[in-house]
Amino acid sequence: NAGVTQTPKFRVLKTGQSMTLLCAQDMNHEYMYWYRQDPGMGLRLIHYSVGEGTTAKGEVPDGYNVSRLKKQNFLLGLESAAPSQTSVYFCASTAVLGTPYEAFFGQGTRLTVV
């Protein structure tokens, strides 16, 4: 029972490099989210998606892009990484029906930008 899987779990980038974080869920959830967690700031919503092919900005979207080409996958891209994007990134998904309002989280991706 995989739930929500994030790839990779750890990554170190140099300033200016690009990368893509992958989130995959096997629960057929409609909604998916990307959060970042910084010390003393809790989790903040970066982008979210309410369905395949649709995305929307969250609280802190600058410097990130996302895509939801398949229902089960939600990709978070950093085009030109900056040290301020050093953080732990969490992906989450929720269902419309069944157990709404309970977000299932991935295990997190620890990203360091040097």
Please identify which residue in 15, 18, 107, 112 interacts with other proteins, judged by CB under 8 A: 107
Place of tokens 């369905």: 51
- Torsions phi, psi for 65 (to 5 deg): -135, 155
Q: Can residue 61 be called a binding residue for other proteins (CB under 8 A)?
A: no
Report the alpha-carbon distance of residue 12 to residue 97 in Å, rounded: 38
Beta carbon nearer to other proteins, 11 or 17: 11
For other proteins, the closer CB: 14 or 39: 39
Type of residue found at 38:
D
Q: What are phi and psi of 63, to 5 degrees?
A: 90, 0
The closest alpha carbon to 48, from 103, 9, 110, 1, belongs to: 103
Our finding on whether 30 is near other proteins (CB under 8 A) is yes
Question: Which residues face 65 on adjacent strands?
Answer: 77
Per-residue interface string for the shown chain with other proteins, residues 66-105, x marking contact by CB under 8 A: ----------------------x-x-x-xxxx--xxxxxx
Among 42, 54, 62, 69, binds other proteins (CB under 8 A): 42
- State yes or no: residue 23 binds other proteins (CB under 8 A): no
16 binds other proteins (CB under 8 A): no
